Amino acid sequence: MILEFAAVIAVSYLVGSIPFGYIAGRVLKGIDVRDFGSGATGATNVMRTLGRGPFAFVLLADALKGYVPVLVTWFLFESHDLQVASGLAAVLGHDFPLYIGFRGGRGVATSFGVYAALALYVPLGLLAAGLFIILTFRYMSLMSIVTVPLGALALLVLAVVEGGDHYTYSKAVFGAFATALVLVRHVGNIRRLVQGTEPKLGEGGGRRKPAPTRG
């Protein structure tokens, strides 16, 4: 079983590390999207720097990085614990990608993909909630820090109410991990939301200021 865990974690991490946002920036404009906007490789920053078409592609691709490894893991091993390990590794790969120096995204779309593989109807509800938040408040970051915890809560409720062999508490563990990681990765956004300086949808795509050098 240890070998299975090691193989699933390694493969899922490598799949999660595929930096679709970075690749899109290089292919379409010859830029590193991390030099612009929020400095992340995720779909939101891609929309700021490259537009809606690349945003849709990267959003789907990043979600599939979480969905496909977790689903394949189930078909190969029929183990919920291995599924959770796969999901954790895929999200970590997205946030800290091996191929581009461990500077990636914030794990929202990839977490949604994992949620879809663990409990298909959960992300459908989250998408509805996310659209409401975006259309009402126009903050992508607010959508992220609300919907991912809601997904974790849904998995926990399913484990408590339904129980059985399908909705296990190990899946709720993934939700807790995804929530903690998304909140940590959005600390700056949360601060700006409180201060009223957070860029709204479509804003904040300028080049980032270089980090000050220490002399």
pLDDT one-digit tens code per residue, 18-42: 999 999 999 999 999 999 999 999 9
Q: Give the CA distances from residue 166 to residues 62, 110, 116, 184, in Å, rounded to whole numbers and listed in that order.
A: 25, 21, 14, 29
What is the pLDDT confidence band of residue 209, given thresholds at 50, 70 and 90?
Answer: low
Mean pLDDT of 169-174: 94
Q: What is the pLDDT of residues 180-193, one digit of tens each?
A: 999 999 999 999 99
Q: Does the pLDDT at position 213 exceed 60?
A: no
How many Cα atoms occupy the beta-carbon half-sphere of 13 within 13 Å?
14
With beta carbons less than 8 A apart as the criterion, state whether 36 and 49 touch: yes
pLDDT for the residue 212: 46
pLDDT at 68: 98
Residue 211 has pLDDT above 80, yes or no: no
Q: Where are the domains of the chain?
A: 2-195
